[in-house]
Chains A and B, each alone.
Chain A
Amino acid sequence: MPVAPPDGDTNTAEATASRPVHRLPFWVNQRLGLLVLIVSLSALFGVLRPAFLDERLVLFPLLRDISTLTVVALAQMVVLSVGHMNLAVGRMAAFGALFAGFGYDRLGLPLPLGLLLCLFAGAAIGALTGWIITRTGVSSFVVTLAMDFALLGLVSLLYSALTENAAFTTKPSGLAELRSYSLADICVGPVCGSPAVPQLAQFTVLALLGLGFLYACTRIGRELLLTGANPAAAELSGIPTGRRVILAHTLSGLLAALAGFMAAVSTGTFRASIGDDFMLPSFLGAVLGGTLLTGGVVSVLGVLLGTSLVGVIRKGLDLLGVGLESLNIYLGCVLLLALSADRVRTVLSYRKVVRST
């Protein structure tokens, strides 16, 4: 957050009269609220079902899921930042994973090269989507919806043409380790990491750091946000809005493909159904974290927290023996509560500031 200079309005005589600097109290911060919720819910679940805190059996798969879904939500956040949407995140993930699987199965690529191919494919399909949007001026909602259908067909078609059981099963060396290794397998002398943290999370951490740097510190990140905030003003201010939109969609495709790869590694097979359930969580994670659907405001950390909250709630309720159907009802209620609690906090603090004026 930029820090205000001590007093920006000292040069007109009347300006000093009123208008104190108003700042909302720290507890209004949405991210902090999410963090508190995550910690207290984890503690609650841990007390009710001590098994919840089992590092290998519960926390490890939970964190692996959260890692993947965080990347999915980041893919959504990037397009939301320019005021667009990507309804095809799931299918772009499947598209990327298809290329990785093809690389391992047919080309015999080593693990990193397959990942690279997968990322490239995702970026390319994202760039194409962005290009179509800027060239035609059709809304991203429509274009990505169409892209979703097109890829759904294409990916299934390619799988059935290229494989026998609609899945690539060849596993390059290192894939099994990537799937099941945690920080406990990395030791510096006698000190080993936690068995709860999957090694797969390295990709998520990289994506978080990269995007955090992009949005907080760089010109391109700021230009993406302003393009989302007001495209007309951005264009007139010298921002190449068309290119920024294409960039956002390219990044979105790339991140979606990364998530697809991670999902494939987690399940062990490269199949067409990867990413089927990505779309709604992608919005959920981003929006819970404070990213605006209308563009111009993102929170990279918020995406991680939002996705984690959803993951913790799901896992916790699951362990409490709540059936899948009722689990979704509870989940809906908790999310509604989380979002309205945020609103309540904002309203309360607004009143407080008004009263002190």
Chain B
Amino acid sequence: MSNVLLECQAIVKVFPGVRALDGVGLRLTAGSVHALLGENGAGKSTLIKVLTGVHTPNSGRLTWCGDEVHLRSPLEATRTGIGVVHQERNLIPGFSVAENITLQSPPSHRGLIDRAAMTAPALTCLGELGLDIDPDQPVRELSVAQQQLVEIAKALYTESRVLLLDEPTASLSPQEAERLFEVVRRLTARGTCVVFVSHKLEEVFAICDTVTVLRDGRSVLESSPLADHTQDDVVSLMVGRAHSATEMRPREVDTSAAPVLSLDRVSTAAGHRDISLDVRPGEIVGLYGLVGAGRSELVKAVLGLDRVTGGEIRLHGKPARIASPRQALHVFGIGYLTENRKEEGVFLEQPIVRNITVTVWKRLAKAFGFVSSREEQEVSHDLVERLGIRISGLGQNAGELSGGNQQKVSLAKWLAADTRLLIVDEPTVGVDVRTKHAFHELIWELARDGLPILLISSDLAEMITLADRVVVMADHRIRGEVDNDRDYERMSGRIIRIIHDRALSAVGPKAVRA
């Protein structure tokens, strides 16, 4: 190996109660695309933070082009030549593209920022990425994908020779992702090393050439050529044992049963028109569509957060006027597992026990609203066991858990409340392979026990694994419905055709919604 840019050896980083990194090694060479893989909680994020100067390792060595370096702050990392594009956008929405790109060292004239001199370097960076974006446009007007590319341009401006991309394709459409890969190829052609963190193995194998796999804070595979491995190899390294994609056991759905939830030509203030949909006991109905199709908004309307302007929502056969999520839960027994775990799902700074029992306090409360903490503990403890949530104690804050475990906590509160209808929205986004599989099993079992489930997902494989029927939505309308025959090729073809037919006729500025 030649041209080693950044190398780390035996990196150890300890947090209270956990050795997040326990002897990790990594070698990044110029002009390569390096995959950094591992399940949630394996230490990827911590490693990225060590490489970008956010965390100082407790021990271990970092070398840059052969010389030992100590990165004490993100600024030092940037000056060294390490750039990062985080999963969350870190741009300033009200600033222009040029201002954002040059943010870290804006061109200045006698101590005042020189706006006119920003445009040229910004255009250079955008040009190197092959982007045609107006540098004077405010960033908030750009699409998510464009914003991400601006972040990469920002890294180019600081002359990053190592660029870390953390889950870059999580919120991108396949076309946008392809565009991103082109950019990555351009970068490597100029000798940059790109570190690619992703849960999507297909992408990793399409674009990367070397790979490091982390498991429980250790590098179980270190800077190895990707060509030497198969996807199954890599997955078993990540999981720690051979991974078997088990088929879901057959499950009977009584299609003649009366629907629990039924929407009859519902229109909403959010722009939905004529939505009709039935969910029967024990049935998993998939609601598929691209980001922006209006699926989550439809659910918000069902929960009473948005106004229903026409049609009728029926629950258990009776017309229901749901005014608030509280009524949805306590009167109609509807649980909603949100797609925005951190913003709407869990209370990060609150103990796990409160996160789980929030929905049952009403039931547990005795005279004067007294809630016994022993009963709370019992309810939570049962669910923690049943869902296999990894915690160090019920008093631990939910924010200290890994993403997958947070998601389980978020689900646990609905199971605690014995909901009679469960709506799950993108349940496995950003969740590792094993947790994803466990989640699928769980949803399947809940349905087998008779719970009606409305599943919203942008993950076709997930839809086809779980759903009995797939309802396809685009542009706030229902475009078609497909009975699932569990044949991936045929199903995905049919679903994509339904969306595509409409997408062709709906091309225009309005069709693009972030």
* Interface residues, chain A, with chain B CB atoms under 8 Å away: 1-5, 8-9, 11-12, 14-15, 17-22, 213, 217-223, 225-226, 229-230, 232-240, 296-297, 350, 353-355, 357
Task: Judge if B346 is at the interface, Cβ distance under 8 Å.
Answer: yes
Chain B nearest Cβ from A245, distance in angstroms? 14
7 contacts between A and B (CB under 8 A): A4-B392, A8-B389, A229-B350, A235-B325, A237-B358, A238-B359, A350-B16
Closest to A221 in B: B369
Q: Which of B29-77 contact A (CB under 8 A)?
A: 58
Chain A nearest Cβ from B4, distance in angstroms? 31
* Interface residues, chain B, with chain A CB atoms under 8 Å away: 14-19, 58, 216, 240, 303, 305, 324-326, 328-330, 336, 338, 343-351, 353-354, 358-359, 361-362, 364-365, 368-371, 373, 376-377, 381, 384-385, 388-396, 413, 417
Known contacts A14-B240, A18-B19; is A230 also within 8 Å of B347 by CB?
yes
A220 to chain B: which residues have CB within 8 Å?
A: 369
Chain A nearest Cβ from B469, distance in angstroms? 26
> In the docked arrangement, what's the CA distance between A336 and B349, Å?
25
A15 to chain B: which residues have CB within 8 Å?
A: 390
Structural contact, B344 and A219, CB atoms closer than 8 A? no
> In the docked arrangement, what's the CA distance between A18 and B14, Å?
12
Given A21-B17, A230-B346, A233-B346, 18 other A-B residues pairs in contact with their CB atoms under 8 A: A3-B377, A8-B384, A12-B388, A17-B216, A19-B17, A21-B393, A22-B16, A222-B361, A222-B371, A229-B349, A233-B338, A233-B343, A235-B305, A235-B326, A236-B303, A236-B338, A240-B324, A353-B16
Structural contact, B377 and A5, CB atoms closer than 8 A? yes
B359 to chain A: which residues have CB within 8 Å?
A: 237-238
Structural contact, A22 and B392, CB atoms closer than 8 A? yes
Structural contact, A229 and B15, CB atoms closer than 8 A? no
Q: Chain B CB within 10 Å — which of A5, A12, A232, A355 has the most?
A: A5
Known contacts A5-B377, A354-B16; is A19 also within 8 Å of B390 by CB?
yes
> In the docked arrangement, what's the CA distance between A237 and B326, Å?
7
> In the docked arrangement, what's the CA distance between A126 and B82, Å?
53
> In the docked arrangement, what's the CA distance between A14 and B373, Å?
30
B346 to chain A: which residues have CB within 8 Å?
A: 230, 233
B240, B324, B354, B371: the one contacting A226 at CB < 8 Å is: B354
Structural contact, A2 and B344, CB atoms closer than 8 A? no
Q: Chain A CB within 10 Å — which of B15, B326, B338 has the most?
A: B326
Known contacts A5-B394, A9-B391, A236-B325; is A226 also within 8 Å of B358 by CB?
yes
Structural contact, A296 and B392, CB atoms closer than 8 A? no
Known contacts A219-B369, A239-B326; is A9 also within 8 Å of B350 by CB?
no
Structural contact, A357 and B15, CB atoms closer than 8 A? yes
Chain A nearest Cβ from B407, distance in angstroms? 13
Structural contact, A19 and B392, CB atoms closer than 8 A? yes
> In the docked arrangement, what's the CA distance between A187 and B15, Å?
57
Structural contact, B392 and A9, CB atoms closer than 8 A? yes
Chain A nearest Cβ from B56, distance in angstroms? 12
Chain B nearest Cβ from A148, distance in angstroms? 29
Closest to A350 in B: B16
A296 to chain B: which residues have CB within 8 Å?
A: 347, 349-350
Closest to B386 in A: A11
B385 to chain A: which residues have CB within 8 Å?
A: 8, 11
Known contacts A219-B365, A232-B344, A237-B359; is A357 also within 8 Å of B14 by CB?
yes
A8 to chain B: which residues have CB within 8 Å?
A: 381, 384-385, 389, 391-394
Structural contact, A226 and B350, CB atoms closer than 8 A? yes
A297 to chain B: which residues have CB within 8 Å?
A: 349
A225 to chain B: which residues have CB within 8 Å?
A: 350, 354
Closest to A23 in B: B393
Q: Chain A CB within 10 Å — which of B329, B358, B370 has the most?
A: B358
Q: Is the interface of A mostly helix, strand, loop or mixed?
A: loop
Closest to B365 in A: A219
Structural contact, A2 and B394, CB atoms closer than 8 A? yes
Structural contact, B377 and A236, CB atoms closer than 8 A? no
Known contacts A14-B216, A219-B365, A222-B358; is A240 also within 8 Å of B381 by CB?
no
Chain A nearest Cβ from B18, distance in angstroms? 6
B330 to chain A: which residues have CB within 8 Å?
A: 238
Chain A nearest Cβ from B223, distance in angstroms? 24
A234 to chain B: which residues have CB within 8 Å?
A: 347, 358
> In the docked arrangement, what's the CA distance between A17 and B346, Å?
26
Closest to B387 in A: A11
Structural contact, B413 and A237, CB atoms closer than 8 A? yes
Chain B nearest Cβ from A357, distance in angstroms? 5
Chain A nearest Cβ from B376, distance in angstroms? 7
Chain A nearest Cβ from B385, distance in angstroms? 6
Structural contact, B370 and A354, CB atoms closer than 8 A? no
Lowest 6 A-B CB distances belong to which pairs? A4-B393, A22-B17, A238-B329, A218-B369, A219-B361, A353-B16
Closest to B362 in A: A219
Closest to A4 in B: B393
Chain B nearest Cβ from A45, distance in angstroms? 37
> In the docked arrangement, what's the CA distance between A219 and B367, Å?
11
A18, A218, A232, A240: the one contacting B371 at CB < 8 Å is: A218
Structural contact, B376 and A233, CB atoms closer than 8 A? no
Known contacts A12-B388, A237-B359; is A2 also within 8 Å of B395 by CB?
yes
> In the docked arrangement, what's the CA distance between A225 and B343, Å?
16
A219 to chain B: which residues have CB within 8 Å?
A: 361-362, 364-365, 369, 371
Structural contact, B325 and A223, CB atoms closer than 8 A? no
Chain A nearest Cβ from B465, distance in angstroms? 22
Chain A nearest Cβ from B1, distance in angstroms? 32
> In the docked arrangement, what's the CA distance between A303 and B317, Å?
52
> In the docked arrangement, what's the CA distance between A236 and B335, Å?
9
Structural contact, A232 and B326, CB atoms closer than 8 A? no
Chain B nearest Cβ from A15, distance in angstroms? 5
Q: Chain B CB within 10 Å — which of A221, A223, A233 has the most?
A: A233
A353 to chain B: which residues have CB within 8 Å?
A: 16-17
Known contacts A19-B17, A21-B17; is A239 also within 8 Å of B358 by CB?
yes
Closest to B385 in A: A11
B305 to chain A: which residues have CB within 8 Å?
A: 235
> In the docked arrangement, what's the CA distance between A355 and B14, Å?
8
Known contacts A15-B390, A21-B17; is A4 also within 8 Å of B347 by CB?
no
B351 to chain A: which residues have CB within 8 Å?
A: 2
A2, A11, A350, A357: the one contacting B388 at CB < 8 Å is: A11
Closest to B381 in A: A5
Q: Chain A CB within 10 Å — which of B325, B328, B365 has the most?
A: B325
> In the docked arrangement, what's the CA distance between A42 and B2, Å?
69
Closest to B340 in A: A232
Known contacts A11-B388, A296-B349; is A238 also within 8 Å of B377 by CB?
no
Chain A nearest Cβ from B334, distance in angstroms? 10
> In the docked arrangement, what's the CA distance between A66 and B389, Å?
46
B377 to chain A: which residues have CB within 8 Å?
A: 2-3, 5
> In the docked arrangement, what's the CA distance between A297 and B354, Å?
13
Closest to B395 in A: A2
B353 to chain A: which residues have CB within 8 Å?
A: 2
A354 to chain B: which residues have CB within 8 Å?
A: 14-16, 58
> In the docked arrangement, what's the CA distance between A22 and B416, Å?
27
Structural contact, B18 and A18, CB atoms closer than 8 A? yes
